[in-house]
Structure 1
Amino acid sequence: MALFTDESSEMGGSTRRRGGRKGWIVLAVALVAGVSLGIVPSPYVIEQPGPVFNTLGTAPNADDVETPLIQIDGEPVYPTKGTLDLLTVSLFGNQENRPGWLAVAAAWLDPSKAVIPVDQAFPANVTTEQRDTQNQTAMVNSQQDAIAAALTNLDYEYPSTVTVADVPDGSPAAELLVVGDVVTSVDGTTVGNITELRAALQVLGADAPVSVGIIRDGVALTESVTPIVNAGNVVLGISVTTNYEFPFTVKLELDRVGGPSAGMMFALGIIDKLTPGELQGGARVAGTGTIDQTGAVGPIGGIQQKLYGATDAGASWFLAPADNCDEVTGHIPDGLTVFSVATLDDALAALDVIRTGGDPESLPSCPTK
């Protein structure tokens, strides 16, 4: 019996040792797999909430000096309180440095982040320099449109012109239009801003030549250009900027952000500074949306990340473009009330409700579910 007991005990110990070795092997394999997943680049990048800037406050300029985001000279400016926050989205990763699979998996589980194909964020046929230039041009144009929208809303009068900023190779306007040309008309329809140019082209359609009236070096000319359809819009294949002659100086300072999505919040900030009192009653309000000279508010990207960015910054109120409501519904963080705005007047009405303590349900909103 003693022999049997000893052998049995020895065999059990051997089994445990073999089981222990297998456990360590499994653990080692799992650790190697985990490390590999963390290192091996994925074909994705991650969108996440970026910095928040109060248009009524200051931000570091290119020299890291705190500078007011909105500076107005030549017109009375009134004190403001609270915030009118513009929101940004930052990207983690690019074509050269893509996030690993573990980071992507964590982002999939985080409602404040979004995982998108790297080629969608960084198209292979667009260089980093071209992308940065496009974003910066969009920001400059949106800032000018924000000033125009605010001054139009306040009944200031000013002239404007549309100027060619870039003519890419292969464009239907190549060798016909050049940088610096001032576009004055399309098939006889006068255009004084980008909105009017787009509207005229949409009416005319693509694939048939149109007469484009321009002023080049002070000389009036006409060129025949055949528009094309790009992303559902009829275009001449050029980048343009609207040049406004405002009755006083409005300078918008935001060096490290690109794209057009800050337009509406800049317009509201300008109006707040040019009018007595506080538009939002001193509350913390955040929002996003493009804007044009007429005050029309347009959709933007990364709306869900901006909702969480607003909450993280302490905002209780959010102004969202009406055309983004389908992306907002079901993704509103707790404690955040979202107004749906299609125009600058809609946004001002929402701020009035916040200021006066009115009923938020009296205005359009993005459903919570």
Structure 2
Amino acid sequence: MLFPRRRDRAAFGGWAAVFVSLGALLGMAFLPSPFVVEQPGPTFDTLGETDAGPLITVPADLDHPDTEGSLTLLTVSIAGNPQRPLTWVDVAGAFLDPADEILPMDLVYAPTETIEQSNEAGRIEMESSQAAAIAAALLHEGYEIDAEVTIADVLADSPADGVLEEGDRILSVNGDPAYDVSSIRESIAAVDGASTFDIERDGQPMTVTVEPIESQGQRLVGIVPQNAFTFPIDVSIELPNVGGPSAGMMFALGIVDRLTEGSLTGGVEWAGTGTISATGDVGPIGGIEQKMHGALAAGAEWFLAPVENCGEVVGNVPDGLHVVAVDTLDDAMTAIETVASGGDTSALPTCTAG
């Protein structure tokens, strides 16, 4: 019988070890990872249409559809979730695209939150954002509105579970009147420690205390508040299958454009992002780097960014995109009108380091 020489046996053993290691690595590569990937999502011109029809509709006798340019809202897509996690191969691929960002899954999905709950919360946030945008636009145009905030849902095992209930009307938080969802978030964020809620439940006034938790840099109590306004005219926004509050400012700008004569943009392609309060304050959002890439891909020349997101904007602006930092709806209007009229754009506020 012939036997391999010792050197041949050693070489065979070495190659076997290599193949075993490669096989193990390949197997690990397809194991689930604890990460998700943020990517630029679909974009929508608030002055245009979707498959469902006009994105914004105002009464025909008040409508001024003679508009040019664009006021594009931006979205972020999340790849991966607790029920369908990404593999390590998927995560590695995201390193190759500068428009993608890899995040720990628990920064996006709360430990006790199901995908269905997350989607439902996003839907309610979108509805509240649309209502606040309508309110902000109508107030800007001189209309009067009535407003209140109710609780649409309380997350299980959250700080508010067993303290606040679905259907509660929030009157004030930490002594600040609860005019809309944004004002509630600001009141919670402004106080260290527990927050005091003055509410109305089944017609009876009550005062309760909730200790927030920290998550994704925010102080959260585990409720999904919802705006409820009474408007003097009928304004509707149709954008199916998109959730979250970050399109509020762009909705408001689109409504103002439809209610005023002429073209607000003067034919310029704008995109932007930011929450909106009923009183016109613009708030921060997530995924602004991905949204800037999405804006450029959609053909935007100018981009409206919330002042509070400037730390994420600096150093990450794609070539060819001009960013203006805004704090209010009025700031956004001023920027758009300045560019449209050929004014001094160098005087417009932008995001700077430090």
Q: List aligned pairs for 1:40-119, cutoff 5 A.
A: 40-60=31-51, 66-73=52-59, 75-78=61-64, 79-119=66-106
Alpha-carbon deviation of 1:270?
Answer: 0.3
Look up the match of 1:10.
none
> Any conservation in 1 of the 2:35–2:91 contact (CA below 8 Å)?
yes
Shift of 1:349: 1.1
In the TM superposition, what whole-angstrom CA distance separates every residue of 1:255-301 from its partner, at most 9, and x where no partner exists? 11111000000000000000011111111111000010111111111
C-alpha spacing 1:176/1:338, structure 2 compared with 1 (3 Å): closer
Out of 195, 200, 216, the residue aligned to residue 214 of structure 1 is 200
CA-CA distance at 1:21 after TM superposition: 9.2
Q: In the alignment, is the contact (CA less than 8 A) between 1:162 and 1:194 conserved in 2? A: yes
**Aligned pair 1:144/2:135, yes or no?**
no
- State the 1:105 CA deviation: 2.2
Instruction: Indicate the residue corresponding to 2:322 in structure 1.
Output: 337
Q: Does residue 158 of the first structure (1) align with residue 145 of the second (2)? A: yes
Matches within 5 A, 1:117-136: 117-136=104-123
- Counterpart AA for 2:329: L
Aligned length: 345
1:265 aligns with 250
Q: TM-score, normalised by structure 2?
A: 0.84
Deviations 1:44-94 (A, max 9, x none): 11111100111111112xxxxx41111112651102122111001111222
Rounded Cα–Cα distance in structure 2 between residues aligned with 1:200 and 1:301: 20
Pair 1:284 & 2:284 matched? no
When structure 1 is superposed on structure 2, of 21-30 and 187-196 the one drifting more is 21-30
Pairing 1:225–2:246 present: no
Range moving further from structure 2, 144-153 or 20-29 = 20-29
Asked if structure 1 preserves the Cα contact closer than 8 Å seen for 2:54 and 2:238, the reply is yes
User: Following TM superposition, by how much is the alpha carbon of 1:202 offset from its aligned partner in structure 2, in angstroms?
Assistant: 7.0
Q: Which residue of 2 aligns with 1:323?
A: 308
The 8 Å contact of residues 225 and 236 in structure 1, kept in 2 or not, is answered as: no
Identity, in percent, stands at: 44
2:238 paired with 1:253 = yes
User: Does the aligned pair in 2 maintain the 1:227–1:237 contact within 8 Å?
Assistant: no
- Which residue identity is paired with 2:41? G
In structure 2, relative to structure 1, the CA distance for the partners of 1:59 and 1:227 (3 Å cut) is same
CA-to-aligned-CA distance 1:315-350 (integer Å, 9 cap, x gap): 111111111111111111111001111111111111
| Consecutive aligned runs of 4 or more in structure 1 exceeding 6 Å deviation | 20-31, 186-189, 199-205, 232-236
1:92-150 CA deviation, whole Å, 9 max, x = no partner? 22223333323322312321000111222233311111111111111111110111111
Q: Is the 8 A contact 2:183 2:277 kept in 1?
A: no
Cα distance in 2 between the residues matched to 1:222 and 1:205: 25
Task: Write the deviation string for residues 138-183 of structure 1: whole angstroms up to 9, x where unpaired.
Answer: 1111110111111111111111122232344566766665433434
Mapped to 2, the partners of 1:55 and 1:203 lie a distance apart of 32
Larger Rg: 1 or 2?
1
Quickly say closer, same or farther: Cα 1:29–1:55, change in 2 above 3 A.
Answer: farther
Cα distance in structure 1, aligned partners of 2:248 and 2:105: 26
Partner-residue secondary structure (3-state), 2:57: strand
Aligned 1:19-30 pairs, distance under 5 A: none
Does the C-alpha gap of structure 1 residues 318 and 162 become closer, same or farther in structure 2, counting only changes over 3 Å? Answer: same
Aligned partner letter, 1:357: G
CA distance in 1, matches of 2:164, 2:104: 35
1:239 to 217, 224, 229: 224
What is the identity, as a one-letter code, of the residue corresponding to 1:240?
A: P
Partners of 1:53 and 1:258 lie apart in 2 by 13
What is the CA distance between 1:239 and its match in structure 2? 3.2
Q: Distance in 2 between matches of 1:209 and 1:269?
A: 36
State the Cα deviation string for residues 191-239 of structure 1 (Å, max 9, x = none): 44345555666788755866x35263xx4x2213123234387877643
Distance 1:124 1:132 in 2: 15
After superposition, the Cα gap between the structure-2 partners of 1:225 and 1:123, relative to the gap in structure 1 and judged at 3 Å, is closer
TM superposition score normalised by structure 1: 0.81
C-alpha separation between the residues in 2 aligned to 1:25 and 1:234?
A: 54
Separation in 1 of the partners of 2:23 and 2:195? 61
Structure 1 partner of 2:278 = 293
CA RMSD of aligned residues (A): 3.4
SS across alignment from 2:212:
strand
**What is the CA-CA distance between 1:27 and the residue it aligns to?**
9.4
Partner of 2:5: none
- Rounded Cα–Cα distance in structure 2 between residues aligned with 1:123 and 1:186: 23
The answer to whether the Cα contact below 8 Å between 2:37 and 2:103 also exists between their aligned partners in 1 is yes
The match for 2:3 is none
Alpha-carbon distance in structure 2 between the residues aligned to 1:187 and 1:110: 44
Pair 1:80–1:34, CA change in 2 (3 A): farther
Deviates more, 1:358-367 or 1:263-272: 358-367
Q: Extract unaligned runs of 5+ from structure 2.
A: 1-7
